[in-house]
Amino acid sequence: MGPVEGPGGLRLELLYEVPGLPAYALPEALARVYGGTLGFPEHRLFGNFVASIDGVVAMHREDRSPGSTIGGDSEADRFVMGLLRACAEAVLVGAGTLRAAPGHRWTPEHAHPAGAPAFAELRRRLGLAPAPRLVVVTGRGELDPSHPGLEAGGLVLAGAVGGARLRGRLPAATSLVVLGEGMELDGARLLEALRAEGHRVVLTEGGPHLLGSLLGAGGLDELFLTVSPRLVGRGPGAARLGLVEGGRPDLRPPAQARLLGLRRHGSHLFIRYELEGAAA
C-alpha cells in the first residue's frame, strides 16, 4: 500500500488508470497531488459527486450537523472538486444545489483555497477565463438572484414559469435563457442550450434530479464519483437523495460505465467512469 501523504502534503495514490487518456499540461503542483495528469476530449460533459458507502449523495440541511457531511470534510475531495472546476469552461448546477449552498461560489479556489495559484495557472495554460461560468437550471425560478455565485455573471436556464419570475431580477452580468413552455426542463434542451452558448467542456455538480435529466438525454460523458467511508442510512421520512433522481430514474436499459481511473486518499476512493456511448 503506497503512501497517502508525501513530503509536500496532500497526495492521492493512483491505483489504476486506463493508458492513453487525454492529458492536459498540469502545473507540477497539481500533478503531484493528483498522482498524475488529467485531461478531456474537446467536447465533454462530466459530473462530479460524492456518495456515502450506501449511496446517499445529499441530505436536507436539517439532517446536517458539524462534521456530518457526506464527504466528511475531506481535503482530498475538495482538491479534486477544485481541479475538475479548473478544467471546465462552465459549471452546471440545479437550483436546488444553489439553494443548498447559500454562500458558495463554484470556482476552483472556493473548493480548495490552497490550490488557487496552480488552478489559475492551469486555466491560463488552457486558454480559459479566470473562473468557469456558472450555469444554473431552474424550472420554477426558485432561486435567490442575489446569490454570490451569480455576482460575477453566469447563465440561468429556466422554464417559462421560472423565466417570468426571474426576468429583470438577475444581476446585469447574468444572462437568462428561457427553454420550453412549462416548468420542467428536459436534458436534451439543456444540452442544446449549452452548445448554443459555445461551452465544450462542462462540469455538472448536480443535483441528482439534474443528473437524471442529463442521463435520460444520454448527455453525460463521464462521472467522477468520490466514495466516502460513511454509512448514512435512509430512515422513515429522511429526505436523503441517491445519485440519480427524477429524469429517467429507472434508466432502462441500465446505463453502462467503463472504469477509467481509481485513486485513494485514506479511506476515500476517487473513481472515474466513462459512460457507454461517450465520444472519445
Q: What is the pLDDT of residues 189-199, one digit of tens each?
A: 999 999 999 99
Q: What is the pTM of this model?
A: 0.91
Residue 191's nearest CA partner among 261, 123, 253, 247 is: 247
Q: Is 90 exceeded by the pLDDT of residue 6?
A: no
Least confident of 80-94, 119-133, 228-242: 228-242
pLDDT at res. 233: 82
Residue 45: all three cell numbers together = 460533459
In order of 4, 123, 199, 260, the CA distances from 107 in angstroms are: 26, 12, 16, 25
Domain positions in the chain? 5-231+239-275
CATH number assigned to the domain with residue range 5-231+239-275, chosen from the 4 options 3.30.1330.120, 3.40.430.10, 3.40.50.620, 3.40.50.2300: 3.40.430.10
pLDDT at res. 105: 94
The DSSP code for 256 is: P
R_g of the chain computed on alpha carbons: 18
Looking at every residue in the chain, the average pLDDT score rounds to 88
Q: What is the pLDDT of residues 60-119, one digit of tens each?
A: 554 444 445 787 789 999 999 999 999 999 999 999 999 989 999 999 999 999 999 999
Average pLDDT over residues 210-232: 93
Q: Identify which has the larger pLDDT, 29 or 276.
A: 29
